[in-house]
Every structure is written in C-alpha cells, then in structure tokens.
Amino acid sequence: MCGRYVSPSDRAIEDYWHIGARDSGRWLQNFNVAPTTTVPVLRLDDQGELELIPARWGLIPSWWKEAKPPTMSFFARSEEAAGKPLWRQSLRSFRCLMPANGWYEWNPQQQARNAKGRPVHQPYYLHCPDDPVLAMTAMWANWTSPDGRSITSCALLTREAAPGIRAIHQRMPVILPPEQFECWLEPRTTAEQLQQAIAQARDDFTGYAVSTRVNDVHNNDVGLIEAVELEEQ
C-alpha cells in the first residue's frame, strides 16, 4: 500500500525539475518518510509555474469538520478515487507530484526478524535503477482547522503493481514518465485525460530486501536502503 518512501532533498528535486533554487535547505533527503510527515510536493502556482511546497502526507479535505484528521487518508486507489467523496474534489482540481527516490513494501509471504527477534514481514526497497528521482502522482487540499490553522495536505494514488515487483506486493504508487507531468498537474485536464495518463504509468522497477530497521520510523539513514540477505524460510 506504500506506507513508507524515500524523499529526495529539495536541491535534488529542484535540479531534476529545473526549477532553480528556492529556499534550498528546507528538506534533507529522508530515508523513512511515514504518513503525517510534512513532505515536499510539486504543484503549479497561480502563474502556471512549478512550485515546491510543504504538505502533510495524509489528505484532509477542505470540507472536513472534525478536529481530528481522517485516518488512512495517505493513499487512494486510482481505480476508485474519482467516485469517493474524500478524494473527488482534489483529484478533479488539485493535483500534485510527490518526488521520491523509491518506496518500501512488506512481503507478507516472507518472514524476517526485527531488532527484538520477533517475526515480521520482510521489507523491500523498490526503485528504478536508471532514474534516481521518481514522480508519484498525488493530490492536495487546503483545510482550516477548528483553531484557525491552515494546513496543506496530500495523498498519493496507487495502482496494481508492475509485473516485475508483483511478487513482493500487489499494489504500488502511480509513477508517471516525464512526458505526463504537465498533463497531471494542469488543472484543466479532463477526467478522461487523467485516466489516459495513469494508463501510461511507468513499469520499470525492481526491488531488493532491506533491513527491518525501516519498521521503526525513528530510523532515518542511508543504511535503510542497503540490500540484505534473505533469511532461510
């Protein structure tokens, strides 16, 4: 379901998208991004130019009335999002990209042991060896909390996993090729065009087993994406 990923630094994002340095230093590379974290996202500003902004990972729709944000709102199934009230407005009019180096999934068919020796699902790091920066499709919303705070939030979209990684997990983020970035971000893109863009999502991914240290959100270092040998089952 993609509940963790690796986020590039703001400098790497700015270099990849050729948007120039804009307050660089706000984000270092994060090797263990979890839901509710503030993450960098790309969207179009009022002039139609790319801008890099902070957003809470876990969408809160503008009409949300409760003080506590909705749970499990950090990803939406691309096949169903247009018909769900939680996602409908954001998918139609407020789309963005969540830059990533790769993401983690846990294989329920393989067991590993955590730091306490307890059996857990084996984590994998999934990425594209030929492209260090990926664009996960997402949507955003602005919400005003009961105490008057304005919060920008986001959620990514998922799809059936690409054939090369389906043995690890059945779902993955919708990751677009560069030629589809403009279509996704443009507010005037039609629902049909959005589905066509999603249909052209990338499939060129691979994965390898990594340490169960990624299970602890407090761990955040490059060692999390280093390959490990699988335990004998």
230 in any annotated domain: no
CATH (domain of 150) = 3.90.1680.10
Of 164, 140, 160, 161, which is closest to residue 151 (Cα–Cα)?
Answer: 140
Q: φ, ψ for residue 85 (rounded to 5)?
A: -55, -35
Is residue 125 included in any domain, yes or no?
Answer: yes
Residue 221 lies in a domain: yes
Cβ atoms < 10 Å from Cβ of 131: 17
pLDDT at residue number 225: 98
In degrees rounded to 5, what are phi and psi of residue 81?
-60, -40
- Number of H helices and number of E strands within the chain? 4, 12
* Token pair recorded at residue 67: 């003080």
Residue 231 maps to a domain: no
Q: Cα dist. 198→67, 210, 215 in Å? A: 33, 29, 30
Q: How many CB atoms lie within 10 A of CB 44?
A: 15
Tell me what pLDDT residue 119 has. Answer: 92
Domain total in the chain: 1
Of 101, 105, 141, nearest to 123 by C-alpha is: 105
Task: Tell me the pTM.
Answer: 0.94
Pairing of β 38-44 and β 30-33: unpaired
60 inside domain: yes
Q: Report the candidate in 71, 28, 75, 65 with the shortest Cα–Cα distance to residue 220.
A: 28
- Nearest by Cα to 224 from 119, 127, 118: 127
Within a domain: 233 = no
The tens-digit pLDDT sequence of the chain (233 residues) is: 689 999 999 999 999 998 865 655 578 999 999 999 999 999 999 999 999 999 999 999 999 999 899 999 999 999 999 999 999 999 999 999 999 999 999 999 999 998 888 999 999 999 999 999 999 999 999 999 998 999 999 999 999 999 999 999 999 999 999 999 999 999 999 999 999 999 999 999 999 999 999 999 999 999 999 999 887 65
Residue 192 is part of which domain span? 4-225
What is residue 152's predicted lDDT score, i.e. its pLDDT? 97
- The string of DSSP codes covering 108-177 is EEEEEE-TTS-EEEEEEEEE-TT-S-EEEEEEEEEEE-TTS-EEEEEEEEEEEPPGGGTTT-SEEE-B--
